[in-house]
Amino acid sequence: MNRAITPDSLMPYIGTVLLIAAGSFFFPQILTFDYLTQQLQIAAFLGLLATGATIVILLGHIDLSVPWVLTGAAILSTAFVGSGDPLLTALAVPAALAFGALIGIVNGIGVAILRIPSMVWTLAINSILLGLAVLNTGGFNPKGESSALMVSMAAGRLFGLPMSFLIWMAVCVGIMLFLTKTPFGRYLRSIGYNEKATFLSGVSTPSVVFVAFALAGMCSAMGGVLLAGYANQAYQSMGDPFLLPTIAAVVIGGTSILGGRGGLFGTVGGALFITLLTSILSVMQIGDAWRSIVFGAIILAMLLFQTLRKGARA
C-alpha cells in the first residue's frame, strides 16, 4: 500500500515517453533541450497544484477551491510587492503561503467538524474567494507586480534546469518524506480507506484532515506565486484553467479518487504527461474545448480502469 512505485504510477511516465516519441515525428523540436526544459518549467505550476490535490484525494476528499486559492495568493503577493514597502515585499511569498494554509484550515473545518461533503464545501469557498476578489478589485485586474524573487523562482535557471521545476521537486521530496517517515502518511491513507475505523482506533482524524487541507492550500498558493512571477502580475481567474488538469494529473498518476491508494510519484508523472499533452495539442492548434474533452475523457477512462482493477482484485 505504501510503495512509491507501482504499475499504476508508472503509466504516466510511459505515456510521456510515448508522447515525446510520437510527437517528434511531426515536430522534431520536441526533442530539443530548450523545449523539454520549458515543459518542465510549465509542468511545475500544474505539478504543485496536483501535489496538494493528491494529499486531499488520498483522504477520500477533493478540493475544488484550488483556482481561487491560487488566484488569491497571486493577488496578495503582488499587492504586497506593489505597495512599495520593502518589508511587505519581503513578506509577499510567506504571506501567500499563510493565506493558502488558512484557506486549507477553513476547508478542514467544513469537512472534518461540520461534516459537509468536501466537494460542496470547497466549491463554496472557491465562490466566496471569487466574490471577495471582485469586491476588492472592482472586477478589474488587480494592481501590483511580482518581486525579483518571485520572477527568479518562476523563470530562473539553476544548473540549466528551471528553478520552478526544482522548487516543485523539493516540495514533493519534502512531502514524500513527511508521508513516509511520520505516522501522518499512514493515518492519511487509513482515513481514505475507512475514516470511521481509523477514528475508533484512536487517531485524531480531524487533525489529519486539517493538516492535509492546509498542505494542499499551501501548494496551491505556491503555484499562484510562481504563476504571478511567470506573468509578472496577477489577473482575474488565472487559476480557472487548472482545476480539471490538476485532478486529471492526480488520477492519471494512479491515485484512487476514492482515497487510500496512490502517491506523489505517480502524480509527478501525471503532471508531466498532462503538460506535454497540452503542449502537443496546442502545437496541433486544437482548441480549448477539445482539450477539455480530452482531459475529461482521460479522467473517466482512468476511473473506469481503477474500478475494473478493484473489481478484479475483489
Cell representation of residue 48 = 504543485
For 53-108, write each residue's pLDDT tens digit. Answer: 999 999 999 999 999 999 999 999 999 998 888 999 999 999 999 999 999 999 99
Which one of 205-209, 248-252, 310-314 scores highest in mean pLDDT? 205-209
Residue 10, all three cell numbers: 508508472
In a domain, 2, yes or no: no
pTM for this predicted structure:
0.91
Please report whether residue 64 resides in a domain. Answer: yes
3-state secondary structure of 1: coil
Tens-place pLDDT, residues 9-58: 888 898 899 889 888 888 888 889 999 999 999 999 999 999 999 999 99
Q: Looking at the domain assignment, is residue 272 inside a domain?
A: yes
Q: How many domains is the chain partitioned into structurally?
A: 1
77 assigned to some structural domain: yes
Q: Give the integer Cα–Cα distance in Å for 10 and 29.
A: 25
- 299: in domain: yes
Q: Show the domain range for 198.
A: 7-313
Residue 23: give its domain's CATH number.
1.10.3470
Domain membership of residue 252 (yes or no) is yes
Q: Determine, yes or no, domain membership for 1.
A: no
Q: Is residue 187 part of a domain?
A: yes
Helix axes 205-231, 66-82, angle to 10 degrees: 50
